[in-house]
Amino acid sequence: MPDTRPRRTFAVISHPDAGKSTLTEALALHARVITEAGAVHGKGDRRATVSDWMAMEKARGISITSAALQFVYRDHVINLVDTPGHSDFSEDTYRVLSAVDSAVMLVDAGKGLEPQTLKLFKVCALRGIPVMTVINKWDRPGLSALELMDLIQEKIKLRPTPLTWPVGEAGDFRGVLDRRTGEFVKYTRTAGGATRAPERRMAADEVDEIDAALWADAVEEHELLGLDEADHDQDRFLAGETTPVMFASALQNFGVAQLLDLLLDIAPDPSPTEGVDGSVRKVEDDFSAFVFKVQSGMNNAHRDRLAYARVVSGAFERGMVVTHASTGRPFATKFAQSVFGRDTQSVETAEPGDIIGFVNAQSLRVGDTVYVGDPIEYPPVPSFAPEHFVTASAGDIGRYKQFRRGIEQLDQEGVVQVLRSDLRGDQNPVLAAVGPMQFEVVEDRMTNEFNSPIRFSRLDYQVARRTDAAGAAALAGVRGVEVLQRSDGTYLALFVDQWRAMVTARDNPDLMLEALPAGGS
């Protein structure tokens, strides 16, 4: 029987160490996990990651591959799509955001808005994804609640609309005032946060003597917030003008149930999606999905290839024959997985909002659409501004054929962006990445999967701007800039730094020099 309960599909965006893994585990604890995946990376004695497809991942103890965790909460099915990436991240981290309907921005109360959070936020803003904010680690000293509200307003230009307000500042946390019901949600510290939600709700007149003074302060601030247009407004939230805020301690399990309730109450449902020709697919129409990530090399024994797709419309049933939009060819879905990781479990049915993995999907690439019924093709998943560049060459010239094939394959999968120019010739492509770890993945797979050792030589560029053929001609020979063409045909002008990019744009006002999405440039 297909599970047709309503869906919530979201991702957590955060900087490393803000508590994403802790929160993910806490969410799963509150819910009934349907399928368990590598969304959680192992740390200490906590549950180890499932996605250790690559030896490299194991060695580093981090999750490079995308994964999704699916669970039931109240009457909903929730899909938490992992945003991979630890101390550095990759284009995949951004791409995952094309598969979600909302995002939770997790902020460390002591650190405020950190660089990776801001980069990921930019991608959400670009795609119009509504963002809810969770201020985490409220159980220990940090910035004041008002300081954090100012930071949000200043750095991401969204109006913070707190749904809860802390009673007691970070480090002296007594609980929160639920601004929608006026109740006190009292927090009781537990050892190691091992037990379920230490939360107790009570009416304002039941607040204990010991919390009374701090409660009065919170009530006063809550009233001031109300005067300052800081109350939740669903339309403004969905329009990307505001971000509802909650205060939590993922480690102590406080605020986790509140977050789940919030997701059900205010996060958007999967919505109708427009194709490149302007036609719109409603969620109840025939099945359609788009691929947002392709993963190979999970198993050295056979060349497997898994394409992760987000269901946009219709019900999916395993065995369905779908049409691959870019080739018009049929694609059999005999092998479809719901669990991403070591345990390959077949998915029998899926609904809009769910993530499915197609096994042995040799023909599917990032951005591809598959559908049943009337043709539909969704817009391509954008590529993001690379900030790291190397030239690549075959480590063993006798294996040049393997080198070429490998680079082509990794390019198609979107593992790195591959740039070329007549000047550099075909043998030394430039590889461009959002995070340097993408080069390590290339090196690992070239060596182990394509049997072609690879040599990199770092290039001093830091900034890429989109240009055109005229720009390429005009900038040829200009110092501090080089124009190359990406395999999708886009011309990219690479600059040694922001300053050089700025000066070039100023001195050549007629040239096309556009910033690319995210990546800070």
Nearest-approach distance from CB 425 to ligand G4P, in angstroms: 42
Q: Which of 2, 4, 5, 43 binds ligand G4P (CB under 6 A)?
A: 43
Q: Which of residues 332-361 bind ligand G4P (CB under 6 A)?
A: none
* Residue among 16 and 453 whose Cβ is closer to ligand G4P: 16
Nearest-approach distance from CB 86 to ligand G4P, in angstroms: 6
Nearest-approach distance from CB 9 to ligand G4P, in angstroms: 20
| The two structure tokens encoding residue 284 | 């109840």
Please state, as a whole number, how many other Cβ atoms lie within 10 Å of the Cβ of residue 420.
16
Beta sheet of 329-332, edge-to-edge order: 329-332, 321-324, 369-371, 288-296, 305-313, 355-359, 336-337
Nearest-approach distance from CB 108 to ligand G4P, in angstroms: 8
Strands 131-136 and 102-108: parallel
Task: Point out which residues pair with 259 in neighbouring strands.
Answer: none
Nearest-approach distance from CB 55 to ligand G4P, in angstroms: 21
SS3 154: helix
* Residue among 82 and 482 whose Cβ is closer to ligand G4P: 82
SS3 9: strand
Nearest-approach distance from CB 17 to ligand G4P, in angstroms: 4
Does residue 21 interact with ligand G4P by CB under 6 A? yes
* Residue among 120 and 475 whose Cβ is closer to ligand G4P: 120
Does residue 251 interact with ligand G4P by CB under 6 A? yes
Q: Which of 139, 169, 411, 482 binds ligand G4P (CB under 6 A)?
A: 139
Does residue 16 interact with ligand G4P by CB under 6 A? yes
Does residue 18 interact with ligand G4P by CB under 6 A? yes
| The two structure tokens encoding residue 129 | 């994804």
* Residue among 62 and 366 whose Cβ is closer to ligand G4P: 62
Please state, as a whole number, how many other Cβ atoms lie within 10 Å of the Cβ of residue 128.
9
Q: Which of 17, 221, 269, 408 binds ligand G4P (CB under 6 A)?
A: 17
Q: Which of 7, 8, 20, 465 binds ligand G4P (CB under 6 A)?
A: 20
Cα separation, 340 vs 92, whole angstroms: 15
Please state, as a whole number, how many other Cβ atoms lie within 10 Å of the Cβ of residue 414.
21
Does residue 431 interact with ligand G4P by CB under 6 A? no
CB 5 within 8 A of CB 349: no
For 442, list phi and psi in degrees, rounded to 5: -60, -50
Does residue 19 interact with ligand G4P by CB under 6 A? yes
Q: Which of 9, 10, 14, 351 binds ligand G4P (CB under 6 A)?
A: 14
Nearest-approach distance from CB 90 to ligand G4P, in angstroms: 16
| The two structure tokens encoding residue 188 | 């009781």
Does residue 411 interact with ligand G4P by CB under 6 A? no
Nearest-approach distance from CB 74 to ligand G4P, in angstroms: 24
Nearest-approach distance from CB 57 to ligand G4P, in angstroms: 15
* Residue among 140 and 424 whose Cβ is closer to ligand G4P: 140
CB 408 within 8 A of CB 449: no
- How many residues contact ligand G4P, by CB under 6 A? 17
Task: Point out which residues pair with 359 in neighbouring strands.
Answer: 306
For 181, list phi and psi in degrees, rounded to 5: -110, -15
Does residue 475 interact with ligand G4P by CB under 6 A? no
CB 3 within 8 A of CB 77: yes
For 185, list phi and psi in degrees, rounded to 5: -100, 105
CA 141 to chain centre: 28
Nearest-approach distance from CB 187 to ligand G4P, in angstroms: 11
* Residue among 45 and 422 whose Cβ is closer to ligand G4P: 45
Does residue 140 interact with ligand G4P by CB under 6 A? yes
Strands 242-247 and 159-162: parallel
SS3 95: helix
Q: Tell me the window of 19-27, 266-274, 323-331, 444-452 that interacts with ligand G4P (CB under 6 A).
A: 19-27
* Residue among 134 and 419 whose Cβ is closer to ligand G4P: 134
Place of tokens 């805020």: 245
Q: Tell me the window of 14-22, 304-312, 338-346, 435-443 that interacts with ligand G4P (CB under 6 A).
A: 14-22
| The two structure tokens encoding residue 481 | 């800039």
Site string for ligand G4P, 260-299 (x = CB under 6 A): ----------------------------------------
DSSP of 66-88:
--EEEEEETTEEEEEE----SSS
Nearest-approach distance from CB 378 to ligand G4P, in angstroms: 30
Q: Which of 7, 137, 324, 486 binds ligand G4P (CB under 6 A)?
A: 137
- Which ranges of 312-464 would DSSP assign to H, the alpha helix? 400-413, 437-448
* Residue among 102 and 136 whose Cβ is closer to ligand G4P: 136
Cα separation, 341 vs 300, whole angstroms: 15
Nearest-approach distance from CB 31 to ligand G4P, in angstroms: 18
Cα separation, 37 vs 339, whole angstroms: 6
| The two structure tokens encoding residue 139 | 């159980």
Q: Which of 32, 44, 205, 397 binds ligand G4P (CB under 6 A)?
A: 44
DSSP of 470-511:
HHHHHHTT-TTEEEEEETTS-EEEEESSHHHHHHHHHH-TTS
* Residue among 22 and 409 whose Cβ is closer to ligand G4P: 22
Residues that bind ligand G4P (CB under 6 A): 14, 16-22, 43-44, 136-137, 139-140, 249-251
